[in-house]
């Protein structure tokens, strides 16, 4: 085969590949699918790098998935010029992130810690795995990895088809939802429209998900499945909880000693989910004790009528329209806490 023939073959192959990619892209767009960012180690590290800017320029958020859904960043941006740096991680304990920031001498800023009790007070390895992985990647990442992320960001912002969480081969295989069998455990798969992610790392459920009772029920069933995994497990010894309280207090004190400020927030859940959480983690023994031992302020959604009675579509996270309402009220409450009045001083008005 001569060079001319090879060149023609390459052009034909390129044309076919581009046509297929473009075809899929146009199809997904026609179905209303929007760009979704891969919320992996690179995106998390990009946000982690923003935590060392001057304290008056940013508020850092750590936690589990609720604060990612409930803090509507576009609404936040309309209220203040202070950047919201989102470091929360779905299904994970935020204590490793707290320790990482506490041990960073350059972090002297404002920190909001979202408390989902079942994850915050957990020592289970699966709940610590992803935070530890993200932290390690951030501290070890190379200049080449940073450049690669920046290049990928440009493509990812334009192409729906690059959503590897839903359209990669592995994601498509997972979507088949094969049943578990002896020796092979298959994790349940969340509906795609339940968890979309912006470049700011805000998670949101689409309107079509909220309107689909079957999809909402599917997620509720997943919460029930996860709860069933802990049934029959030995109770966590009180000594383990005592150690967690002590460790959190030590980390918070490190941040405060450098001039930083810390506020805890208990974001909304509803229905049987909230009832179960309240039984498993009584407020006086966990939330109240956490604030007392860390000598820190806290914003508990049940204390404020305007945000106390949201109906979460799948019992655990706010839909987008409610996240807007929550963010407006939360912003007002946060700006009243010690060290956070600067939020209003940097109003966009």
The arithmetic mean of pLDDT across residues 229-244, rounded, is 86
Contact 260, 54 (CB under 8 A): no
The arithmetic mean of pLDDT across residues 289-301, rounded, is 98
The reply to whether 23 falls in a domain is no
| 184: pLDDT strictly greater than 50 | no
The reply to whether 303 falls in a domain is yes
Residue range of the domain that includes 48: 41-336
pLDDT higher at 233 or 53: 53
The reply to whether 166 falls in a domain is yes
C-alpha separations of 64 from 94, 152, 345 in Å? 6, 26, 29
C-alpha separations of 277 from 48, 173, 224, 241, 299 in Å? 30, 34, 13, 16, 17
Residue 225 sits in a domain of what CATH number? 3.40.50.1110
Position 261 scores a pLDDT of 97
**Unique residue bearing structure tokens 């998390």:** 44
The reply to whether 5 falls in a domain is no
The reply to whether 30 falls in a domain is no
The reply to whether 342 falls in a domain is no
The reply to whether 133 falls in a domain is yes
| 265: pLDDT strictly greater than 80 | yes
pLDDT higher at 203 or 11: 203
* Percentage of the chain exceeding pLDDT 90: 68
Q: How many structural domains compose the chain?
A: 1
- Average pLDDT of the chain? 87
Position 283 scores a pLDDT of 97
Q: What confidence tens digit (pLDDT) does each residue in 122-180 have?
A: 999 999 999 999 999 999 999 998 988 777 766 655 555 555 565 544 544 455 555 65
The reply to whether 36 falls in a domain is no
Q: What confidence tens digit (pLDDT) does each residue in 19-46 have?
A: 655 554 455 556 556 656 788 999 999 9
Give the range among 174-188, 287-301, 324-338 with minimum mean pLDDT: 174-188
């Amino acid at each position: 085969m001569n060079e001319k023939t090879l060149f023609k073959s390459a052009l034909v192959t390129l044309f076919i590949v581009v046509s297929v990619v473009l075809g899929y892209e146009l199809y997904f767009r026609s179905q209303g699918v929007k760009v979704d960012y891969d919320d992996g180690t690179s995106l998390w590290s990009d946000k982690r790098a923003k935590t060392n800017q001057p304290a008056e320029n940013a508020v850092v958020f750590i936690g589990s998935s609720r604060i990612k859904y409930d803090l509507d960043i576009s609404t936040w941006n309309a209220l203040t010029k202070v950047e919201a740096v989102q470091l929360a991680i779905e299904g994970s304990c935020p204590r490793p992130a707290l320790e990482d920031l506490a041990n960073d001498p350059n972090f002297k800023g404002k920190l909001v810690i979202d408390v989902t009790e079942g994850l915050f007070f957990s020592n289970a390895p699966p709940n610590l795995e992803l935070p530890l992985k993200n932290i390690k990647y951030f501290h070890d990442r190379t200049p080449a990895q940073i450049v690669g992320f920046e290049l990928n960001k440009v493509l990812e912002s334009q192409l729906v088809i690059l959503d590897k969480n839903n359209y990669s081969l592995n994601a498509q295989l997972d979507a088949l939802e094969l049943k578990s069998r002896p020796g092979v455990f298959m994790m349940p798969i969340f509906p795609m429209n339940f968890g979309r992610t912006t470049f700011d790392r805000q998670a949101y459920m689409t309107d079509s998900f909220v309107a689909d009772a079957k999809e909402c029920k599917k997620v509720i069933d997943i919460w029930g499945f996860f709860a069933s995994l802990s049934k029959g497990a030995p109770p966590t010894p009180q000594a383990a909880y005592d150690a967690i309280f002590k460790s959190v207090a030590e980390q918070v004190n490190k941040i405060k000693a450098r001039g930083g400020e810390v506020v805890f927030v208990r974001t909304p859940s509803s229905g049987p989910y909230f009832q179960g959480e309240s039984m498993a983690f009584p407020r006086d023994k966990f939330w109240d004790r956490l604030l007392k031992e860390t000598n820190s302020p806290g914003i508990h959604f049940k204390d404020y009528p305007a945000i106390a009675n949201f109906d979460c579509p799948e019992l655990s996270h706010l839909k987008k329209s409610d996240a807007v309402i929550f963010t407006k009220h939360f912003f007002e409450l946060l700006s009243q806490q010690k060290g956070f009045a600067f939020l209003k001083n940097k109003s966009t008005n």
